[in-house]
Structure 1
Amino acid sequence: MAGAATGDLEGAAEAVMRAAGATHRLTVVAGAAALWVWFPAGTAPVLKDLAGHPEVRVAIGRPGADVDGFRRSHLDAAEAQRMLTRLTSPQQVARYEDVQLVALLTADPTQAEEFLADTLGDLLHADTATQLTVLTYVREQCSTTRTAERLYTHRNTVLRRLARADELLPRPLAENVVAVGAALEVLRWRRT
């Protein structure tokens, strides 16, 4: 946890601990504006934001057992934190299991930019609605019906946005689904 006054960090640590269903935690003060927190939990907590702690940023590692799991979880969280910093991400919470691919893809910023430009072409600079529609379509296993339901929009709107995306992409989406989805995940974490 980083980025705020000690009181905010402590409050956020308590919120994360509660979300994980833990009753106690181990806390190390890593700096004036950073805490490292471990708690016994079988799964990583799912948090979208930390209401009441807008300045706090949280990176969560994968749960693990024993000393090796403790160490790996810490290294995972540190990598998620580096990725958030590298991308100047506005996201407040990052679970390593959610950002592992993005962290890998953005480890070299120059190559990441080339990957985005080569993969997305003009979709890189398209409106957010079109990008979000394509990302949701990929996540929904290329189902326009499920994409429309997820986005609370009409199926024809989804089809129109997908057609627009195909005009903007260097290769048709159907031929490059995995790479386009990965590139849009990078944009989602990098978005300002």
Structure 2
Amino acid sequence: MNRPGVAAGGSGIEWPPVVPAAAQRVWSDMLRPIARELRRSAPMLTAQAVDRMRVEMPALYPDPHTAEESGGSIRAHVVQLAETIENGSDPRRFDIPEPGLSLIRSRVRRQVPLSEIMRLYRMAQERVWQWMFAGITATARDAAELAAALELATGWLFAYTDAAMIRAERAYEVEYEGWMRSAAAAQTAAIADILAERERDAARASTRLRYEVNRHHVAIVVWLDRAPDTGDAQALLGEAVTELARRIGAEHTFTHHPGALVLAGWASGREPFSPSVVEGVGRAGTLPAGVRAALGEPGHGLSGFRRGHLEAEHARRVATLAGARAEPVTHYREIAVAALCTADPVQARAFVTRVLGPLAAPDENTFRLALTLAVYLEENRSRRRAADRLTVHPNTVSYRVQQAEAILGRGTDTGVLELQVALAILPSLSGLTAVSAPDL
């Protein structure tokens, strides 16, 4: 953040230019400590603000990653405000932090109106002011000190928010004008038409995309669960797509930016891709730290381009539901059943808890037993093949299966289809609970 007017050592208020000595003391004794605590509380306040935004503006948050984009921007602004107050500097003189600019770029590409971005600023301001007001009223020793602290804090917060909104509006206009003139807008429209099956002509689609679709494709979606502390998120995601495409053996790649923390891509070639090579991608820890990926099934032509991307998006949705239990790379083929069965979160959760009962408990020991049972059934009850997949001894498989059956309270010779489906959904259960909780 630019702080051109900070006093040496941060020893006095430089905004406004003339401040009574009593107000200087209030700033030093009350507001500076509150500003330091505000910086430490930024993650908590951000989470609260984003939760409210997701409730009041659900259309702006179709998935957790758009929420994280907003969260990264809010956190950066809160920290910037806290530093401004702590240093006593002019709240009207700063640059929008990079996460804020990244959010604006993403919202322009998603065609989110400027008015909605302005609403985000106002809602975040409201939450920060509520927090500051509580801190000030709890700290003030008398009415005079309370009045002085509230006047100073109000001035800083409202001046900062006003300047931030002005800069955001300018940045939005510049980004929008550039985006509308760029090929990105045309490509985004073409992709939307292809995915919605409005565009059915492969030659015309290739021209619109500037990418030959009459090839063999593997669709890829890579994402970050949170903005990186350093570096550019899109550069990191682009590196991941390039590496995955190389390992697949692709000749060309094409990428699309649906959000600041998400990158969609297609790896293509003239010859069909080897299913075994595609299935093995990502199992050797090839992704940059923090990056996760989802892959669709190999396909050909315009239909393969479309279907593969939809499959990759479903794989991303299931991986997001599974959270830490998901592999770094999720293949649609491996989670197809879970993808089909989790479209209705409430029904999926009820089904799993009914079929598995206590075997659906969230602790890791019970989950390990359930996972072993799932692999055992997938391998047609072969202890050896299940042990090979789980890298354990066959006797360990037998022991875990017996424990799982004991928890179920029955054998696994009946109701096998329901049991296998419930076990396929089980890794997503915690995510399904979070998604469906408001509906209960």
TM-score normalised by structure 2 residue count: 0.40
Aligned to 2:305: 70
Query: How far apart are 1:190 and its partner, in Å?
Result: 5.4
Deviation digits for residues 90-128 of structure 1 (CA, Å, limit 9, x no counterpart): 322222222211011111111111111111111112623
Q: 2:93: which partner in 1?
A: none
What is the CA–CA distance in structure 1 between the aligned matches of 2:391 and 2:267, rounded to whole Å? 37
* Offset from partner CA, 1:36-66 (integer Å, 9 cap, x none): 2112153462323644513222121222212
Aligned-partner Cα distance in 1 for 2:420–2:260: 38
Alpha-carbon distance in structure 1 between the residues aligned to 2:284 and 2:394: 30
Of 13, 31, 48 in structure 1, the residue corresponding to residue 283 of structure 2 is 48
Structure 1 pair 119–154 and aligned structure 2 pair: CA distance change class (3 A):
same
* Residues 1:6 and 2:273 are matched in the alignment: no
- The structure, 1 or 2, with the larger RCO (C-alpha pairs under 8 Å, 6+ apart) is 1
SS in 2 for 1:39: strand
Q: Check whether the contact 1:9–1:34 (CA below 8 A) recurs between aligned residues.
A: yes
2:349 aligned partner: 113
State the Cα deviation string for residues 163-182 of structure 1 (Å, max 9, x = none): 22222215421112232222
Q: 2:424 aligns with which of 182, 185, 191?
A: 185
CA distance in 2, matches of 1:50, 1:146: 24
Residues 351, 422 of structure 2: 8 Å contact kept: yes
Determine the C-alpha separation between the residues in 1 that align with 2:391 and 2:329: 25
Deviations 1:113-158 (A, max 9, x none): 1111111111112623322221121121112233334434443333
In 2: Cα distance, 1:112 partner to 1:96 partner: 18
Q: Cα RMSD over matched residues?
A: 2.4
Change (3 A) 1:27 1:158: closer
Mean CA deviation greater in 159-168 or 108-117: 159-168
Does 2:323 correspond to 1:89? yes
- How many angstroms does 1:12 deviate by? 0.4
Closer/same/farther in 2, CA of residues 164 and 77 from structure 1, 3 Å limit: same
2:410 matches 1:175? no
- Maintained 8 Å contact 1:25/1:37: yes
Runs of at least 5 residues in structure 2 that lack an aligned partner in the other structure: 1-221, 228-232, 432-440
Structure 1 residue ranges without an equivalent (≥5)? none
Give SS of 2:264's match.
strand
Q: Is 1:118–1:170's contact at 8 Å kept on the other side of the alignment?
A: no
- How has the CA–CA distance of structure 1 residues 24 and 190 changed in structure 2, closer, same or farther, with 3 Å as cutoff? farther
Looking at CA atoms only, which structure, 1 or 2, has the larger radius of gyration? Answer: 2
The residue number in structure 2 matching 1:164 is 403
Q: Answer yes or no: is the 8 Å Cα contact 1:61–1:97 preserved in 2.
A: yes
Indicate if the aligned counterparts of 1:89 and 1:190 stay in contact, CA closer than 8 A: no
- The alignment covers a number of residue pairs equal to 191
TM-score, length-scaled by structure 1: 0.85
SS in 1 for 2:289: coil
Q: Using a 3 Å threshold, how does the CA distance of structure 1 residues 99 and 151 change in structure 2: closer, same or farther?
A: closer
- Correspondence for 1:140: 379
- Alignment match of 1:30 (pick from 258, 267, 271): 258
Query: Comparing 67-76 with 167-176, which one deviates more in the overlay?
Result: 167-176
* 1:115-130 map, 5 Å: 115-125=351-361, 127-130=366-369
Bigger share in helix: 2
Take 2:319 and 2:349, find their aligned partners in 1: how far apart are those partners?
16
Q: Which amino acid aligns with 1:2?
A: W
* Identity between Structure 1 and Structure 2 (%): 34
1:55-93 per-residue CA deviation (whole Å, 9 max, x = no partner) reads 2221212222121221111222222223333x1523222
